[in-house]
Amino acid sequence: MEVSPVPADRTGLAISFPPLHKPRMTDTILYDYWRSSASYRVRIVLNLKGISHQLRSVNLLEGEQRDVAYQAINPQGRVPTLSIDGQEITQSLAIIDYLDATRPDPAMLPAEPADRAQTLAQALIVATDIHPINNISVGNYLKSEFGADGKAVVTWMQHWMTTGFAALEQLAPADGLFGGEQPNLADVCLIPQMYNARRFDTDLTAFPKLERIDAACNQISAFQNAHPEAAKSAA
């Protein structure tokens, strides 16, 4: 079933450093980078929940995340950061948890404890086992400290994506999405990682259920409008 988000204010204004404008209490601003998987997750959930927001680009390749003004709101110097309800929240799953608690429709996690635990476990395969060791900082460290070249870094990334996907494929439903008829947190985490897998030419033929879920989610406007190419166009 397609969920149409409330149109977001996607001005995509780049952050001006310094000073960093303090958002008004009524502003909802997502500081993100268009290719960031974690930011992609949050864009999807904002759209699914119909939360009007602005995008502010933090260019990771140009090092904007290390600027003092940005680190004042995100000391870790990573994306995403969501400015909402007068506060700044970091870490994609913490942001999504806050949105689920304050704007619960549609819910990203089931209410029943056992089902909730299963959905969290599926989502965390991507969010904690695959994604963290495949991000740009890890790749750069492999190059600088261990002499890995670009091909070796891609091989590293493909290995960990394939390993995680193999487990997730076993847990995926035979039909429908991880969330059934509506996407849930596992779907939200999967789709950005599938985008990354294709970006780095990962062989996905062993994961037909994940490919089916990916294709189905990408027919939903909330996912389409959160896609990296859409975010890049807005920036």
Domains and CATH numbers, the chain: 13-106 (3.40.30.10), 113-222 (1.20.1050.10)
Q: What is the pLDDT of residue 172?
A: 98
Which stretch of DSSP H or E encloses residue 99? helix 92-102
> Using one digit for the tens of pLDDT, what is the confidence trace for 145-169?
999 999 999 999 999 999 999 999 9
Integer Cα distance of 11 and 111 in angstroms: 35
Question: pTM for the full model?
Answer: 0.87
Kindly state the average pLDDT of the residues 185-193. Answer: 98
Sign, CA torsion 228/98/25/69: negative
> Using one digit for the tens of pLDDT, what is the confidence trace for 24-42?
556 899 999 999 999 999 9
Q: What is the pLDDT of residue 135?
A: 84
